[in-house]
Amino acid sequence: MSHNLQFYIDGAWVDPIEPRVIDVINPATEQPFTQISIGTAADVDRAVTAARRAFESFSQTTREERLALLKRIQEVYLKRYDDVAEAIRLEMGAPVTLATKSQAAIGAGHIGQIIKVLEEFEFDEMQGNTLITREAFGVIGMITPWNWPMNQITCKVCPAIAAGCTMVLKPSEIAPIDAVVFSEIMHEAGVPAGVFNMVQGLGADVGSAISAHPDIDMISFTGSTRAGVLISKAASETVKKVHLELGGKSPNILLDDANIAASVASGIVDVMQNTGQSCNAPTRMFVPRKFRDTALAAAKTAADGIVVGNPESPETYMGPVISELQFNKIQALIQAGIDEGATVVAGGTGRPAGLNVGYYVRPTVFADVTPDMRVAREEIFGPVLSILFYDTEEDAVRMANDTVYGLAAYIQSGSHERAQKLSRRLRAGNVYINNPKGDLNAPFGGYKQSGNGREWGVWGLEEFLEIKGVVGYAR
């Protein structure tokens, strides 16, 4: 039976207190493919009560008990892997290859990584005769986004379980079905009643109720900077810990000793992955001015080569953006780039040729962008790249850091030593040198208005732990 119209509270699937439903739209067809119920503050109360009650016992479980639970979650997740991928394909319009090999895969990766971390993590240490111990933080309110939905669910829920916390999750109402599948996974894995609870709903209702709830000890939120500010204000009344992973406008600096054509092409492919809907996408590319012609030729070839279309085709690299609202926002910003005088290298406004249904956006590259243009300053969250030219490395660093964001930065260089030196000057939580392989144990999070705190691996586990000093513990 489908649980799309129910919430998962206290170890059971339950109906909402007040019946209300909304459609879930497949952005590739612009048509609803299912419905979900949306909750109220009363549903949040019910979930928080269950989580608070479960915390008393779950916080006292042993490392071995929590490891066994995470391994059961991992086993069931892998069994339901294709269901996770299919949910993401439908709710996001994600190309089947992306949904299977990236979106669903990163969820499995986070579960496996936290198991490794928990096996080795030291919760206790002695400092003289004082015990320094790390304990479960409490009841966690989790609000997750639609763009990498399973990434954000697993990198919050699984470290919280490893820490001994209980939780209430509100997934995005735009892409909610993968969270239903995940809740089914948690139930089948035998997560104790009340440890994990899931309530669907709107940010203004369920999200606000979670943020302000007096019996929630910590909020972990991923989403827009605007929403993060509102959540922080609501949480301040009860002095909650607030962990935020927010927006980005990440620079990609191509140094003059890099292979410019290859670096431009790889940068464009990175931006267009997930239809540009990644907070850490390298959307501002800095290129030495003397390589302008080379860069523009490579950019046009790469952007025009992006296969956009039916998410069911394994050949498709880029699907639609998530919604009509997002489509319209992106179109307006592309038009702003044109109006402000940027050079359109590829793409532009409107849908790609032959795609008249679905929220498809043309892979768009602007050149001759200046730092004051909207396309250089605002997070577009779509398949749009801005190329800015620079004369000296000092200019590149100054422009790269000239942003309210600080989530990620990228460097391409023929000299690894030179890139290492440059990485220390960039104000970002992550710096990637020469397209490295991903590291799920690296701290993920940002500086400035990109948020606070860190996720992934040991860093994610530590966010859900309180530190206690027991003085005189040793005699």
DSSP 415-472: -HHHHHHHHTTS-SSEEEESSPPP-TTS-B--SGGGEES-BSHHHHHHHTEEEEEETT
Domain membership of residue 475 (yes or no) is: no
Residue with tokens 């059971």: 12
Q: Are 287 and 188 contained in the same domain?
A: no
Total-model pTM: 0.97
8 DSSP β-pair partners: 13, 198
**∠ Cα 255 284 203 (to 5°):** 145
Evaluate if residue 475 carries a pLDDT over 90.
Answer: no
Contact 344, 299 (CB under 8 A): no
Q: Any idea what the CATH number is for the domain that residue 56 is in? A: 3.40.605.10
Domain membership of residue 242 (yes or no) is: yes
Domain membership of residue 1 (yes or no) is: no
- Catalytic-residue membership of 245: yes
Residue with tokens 């220390």: 424
Among the listed residues 91, 245, 379, 455, the single catalytic one is 245
Evaluate if residue 120 carries a pLDDT over 80.
Answer: yes
Contact 193, 222 (CB under 8 A): no
Q: Are 261 and 182 contained in the same domain?
A: no
Q: Are 281 and 414 contained in the same domain?
A: yes
Q: Are 344 and 202 contained in the same domain?
A: no
Contact 264, 295 (CB under 8 A): yes
Domain membership of residue 2 (yes or no) is: no
Alpha-carbon distance 390 to 1, whole Å? Answer: 58
Average pLDDT estimate for 96-117: 98
Domain membership of residue 68 (yes or no) is: yes
Evaluate if residue 459 carries a pLDDT over 80.
Answer: yes
Q: Are 179 and 108 contained in the same domain?
A: yes
Domain coverage including residue 27:
7-246+450-470
Side chain identity at residue 295, one-letter code? A
Mean pLDDT score of the chain: 98
Question: Strand, coil or helix: what is 273?
Answer: helix
Average pLDDT estimate for 81-107: 98
Domain membership of residue 20 (yes or no) is: yes
Within 18-80, where are the H helices?
Answer: 41-58, 63-79
Q: Are 154 and 301 contained in the same domain?
A: no
Other CB atoms within a 10 A radius of the CB of residue 413 amount to 21
Burial class (CB in 10 A: 0-12, 13-18, 19+), 88: buried
The 10s digit of each residue's pLDDT in 158-198 is 999 999 999 999 999 999 999 999 999 999 999 999 999 99
Other CB atoms within a 10 A radius of the CB of residue 372 amount to 9
Q: Are 35 and 80 contained in the same domain?
A: yes
Q: Are 240 and 330 contained in the same domain?
A: no
Domain membership of residue 392 (yes or no) is: yes
Side chain identity at residue 182, one-letter code? F
The 10s digit of each residue's pLDDT in 396-412 is 999 999 999 999 999 99
Evaluate if residue 20 carries a pLDDT over 80.
Answer: yes
The 10s digit of each residue's pLDDT in 269-325 is 999 999 999 999 999 999 999 999 999 999 999 999 999 999 999 999 999 999 999
Q: Are 221 and 316 contained in the same domain?
A: no
Residues ≥6 apart with Cβ < 8 Å to 354:
none
Q: Which among 257, 439, 116, 78 has a CA at the least distance from the CA of 431?
A: 439
Evaluate if residue 4 carries a pLDDT over 70.
Answer: yes
Domain membership of residue 107 (yes or no) is: yes
288 DSSP β-pair partners: 390
Evaluate if residue 1 carries a pLDDT over 70.
Answer: no
Q: Are 209 and 331 contained in the same domain?
A: no
Q: Are 161 and 277 contained in the same domain?
A: no
Q: In what helix (H) or strand (E) does residue 288 lie, and over which residues does it extend?
A: strand 284-288
How many domains are contained in the chain?
Answer: 2
Name the phi and psi angles at 365, rounded to 5: -125, 125
Alpha-carbon distance 407 to 425, whole Å? Answer: 14
The 10s digit of each residue's pLDDT in 338-378 is 999 999 999 999 999 999 999 999 999 999 999 999 999 99
Contact 459, 443 (CB under 8 A): yes
Three-class SS of 183-230? HHHHHHCCCCCCCEEECCCCHHHHHHHHHHCCCCCEEEEECCHHHHHH
Q: What is the DSSP letter of 280?
A: T
Average pLDDT estimate for 79-105: 98
Name the phi and psi angles at 412, rounded to 5: -120, 125
* Percent of the chain with pLDDT strictly greater than 70: 100
Average pLDDT estimate for 12-20: 97
The 10s digit of each residue's pLDDT in 236-261 is 999 999 999 999 999 999 999 999 99
Residue with tokens 């439903």: 21
Q: Are 225 and 352 contained in the same domain?
A: no
